[in-house]
Amino acid sequence: MQQRQSLPYVFLVPTMAILVVLAFVPMFYAIGVSLENRTLSSPDSHFVGLKNYLLLFGDSRFVNALWVSVKWELITVSATMIAAIGLGVLMFEAAGPKLRNALSLIFLIPVLLPRVCAAFVWKFAFHPLYGIITYPYRLITGQPLDMLSSPTQALFAVAFVDLWQWGFFFAVIVLKLIEILPQQPLEAARLDYAKPWQIHVYITLPMLRVPLVSLMFVKMIESLRSFDLIYVMTRGGPGTSTETLDMYAFSQGFIEAGKISYASSMAVIMMVATVVIFTVVWKRLKS
């Protein structure tokens, strides 16, 4: 009896210990650092309380980064979900089983590519003089098109690459979700005067609400971690037009100023905001 009760701990303790070491130690260390005035240039530092946090809200570049991050989340998550649902439903309605499987296989390729590779490939595709994406524009107007250097277009160009990587993959997941739904309610709807698009709007997608919400959360978390994609394609530029929070924190901490404490306070704010927002959204959407 004693043995049986201790067995769960045998499995749980090492995992939890690793989790604590890898996640919680750096987290609490970052919180600690964010309350000091540590920099990379000088060895000594002291406790300054919430000074870093107060400074942040007067920092217009921080506010900009916050806004870019929010825009990035909204654009990539909504575009991916809309494209995935649209494409998944289209495949379900229009393609036979063989074509669906072939398409699924092809659609998995973008997400298998490491994001840095995808970023380089697309950076070249967006090249103003040699890129394949800008080729039609050059052909028609005779002018080069430099989307990645345009403050208004750069974020959308990078978001497009993100959509390319994840939209197809999620479309395959949506297709598979629709395929495993019980068919009878869909048949009942066909008899209940529903047109094909109405069947999806009123029956299949509501039936898939929980998995779709989960899928959206996966994408929300994934979008938060797009540092490498944005870094390779634009380095946050032009100016600060694609500089997300993690990128600004990185450049404050390691590239421009070496202000480790200042960067840590940004990381902490990001963490708190993420946890709060995700929890609220999750609770809202699940019920």
Partner 1 sequence: MAEIVCHGVNKKYGAHEVIPNFDLRVAEHEFIVFLGPSGCGKSTILRMIAGLEAITGGEVSINGKIVNDLEPRDRGIAMVFQNYALYPHMTIYDNIAFGLRRLGVSAVEIDRRVGEVVDMLGLKPVIGNKPSELSGGQQQRVAIARAMIKTPEVFLFDEPLSNLDAKLRAQMRLEIARLHKNLKTTTVYVTHDQMEAMTLADRIVLLNAGRIEQVGTPEEIYARPASLFVAGFIGTPAMNLLPATVGENGTRLDGQGFSLPVTPGRYRLAEGQKVVFGLRPADLSRTSDAATAHALSGTVDMVEFHGDQVLVSFPLGAERISAFLPARHRPKEGDKVSFAYEAEAMHIFDAAAGHSLLHADN
Nearest residue to 223 (alpha-carbon basis) of 115, 128, 150: 115
287 near partner 1, rule: CB under 8 A: no
Nearest residue to 132 (alpha-carbon basis) of 117, 147, 154: 147
Residues between 45 and 74 with contacts to partner 1, criterion CB under 8 A? none
The burial of 69, by beta-carbon neighbours within 10 Å (0-12 exposed, 13-18 middle, 19 or more buried), is given as buried
Which residues, 6+ apart, have CB-to-CB distance to 167 below 8 Å?
Answer: 79, 80, 83, 84, 87
Q: Closer CB to partner 1, residue 188 or residue 280?
A: 188
201 near partner 1, rule: CB under 8 A: no
- Residues making up the chain, counted from first to last: 287
Q: How far is CA 139 from CA 45, 128, 173, in A?
A: 58, 12, 37
Residue span binding partner 1 (CB under 8 A) among the ranges 36-44, 179-187, 221-229, 273-281? 179-187
Give the three-class secondary structure for 1. Answer: coil
- Binds partner 1 (CB under 8 A): choice among 207, 213, 218, 285: 207
Q: How far is CA 90 from CA 196, 243, 278, in A?
A: 10, 35, 30
206 near partner 1, rule: CB under 8 A: yes
Residue 287 CB, nearest approach to partner 1 (Å): 13
Residue 125 CB, nearest approach to partner 1 (Å): 42
Q: How many residues sit in the footprint of partner 1 (CB under 8 A)?
A: 18
Q: Closer CB to partner 1, residue 27 or residue 207?
A: 207
32 near partner 1, rule: CB under 8 A: no
Q: Closer CB to partner 1, residue 114 or residue 182?
A: 182
Which residues, 6+ apart, have CB-to-CB distance to 262 below 8 Å?
Answer: 52, 55, 56, 252, 253
- Binds partner 1 (CB under 8 A): choice among 16, 82, 117, 188: 188
- Binds partner 1 (CB under 8 A): choice among 86, 110, 128, 185: 185
Which residues, 6+ apart, have CB-to-CB distance to 1 below 8 Å?
Answer: none
Residue span binding partner 1 (CB under 8 A) among the ranges 182-190, 237-245, 249-257, 279-287? 182-190
CA 93 to chain CA centroid, Å, is 29
Residue 172 CB, nearest approach to partner 1 (Å): 24
Nearest residue to 77 (alpha-carbon basis) of 163, 205, 171: 163
Nearest residue to 87 (alpha-carbon basis) of 186, 164, 182: 164
- Binds partner 1 (CB under 8 A): choice among 95, 111, 125, 194: 194
182 near partner 1, rule: CB under 8 A: yes
Residue span binding partner 1 (CB under 8 A) among the ranges 64-72, 166-174, 177-185, 231-239? 177-185
191 near partner 1, rule: CB under 8 A: yes
190 near partner 1, rule: CB under 8 A: yes
DSSP letter for 188, please: H
Residues between 78 and 97 with contacts to partner 1, criterion CB under 8 A? none
**Cβ count within 10 A of residue 201:** 13
Binding residues for partner 1 (CB under 8 A): 182, 184-185, 187-195, 198, 202-203, 206-207, 209
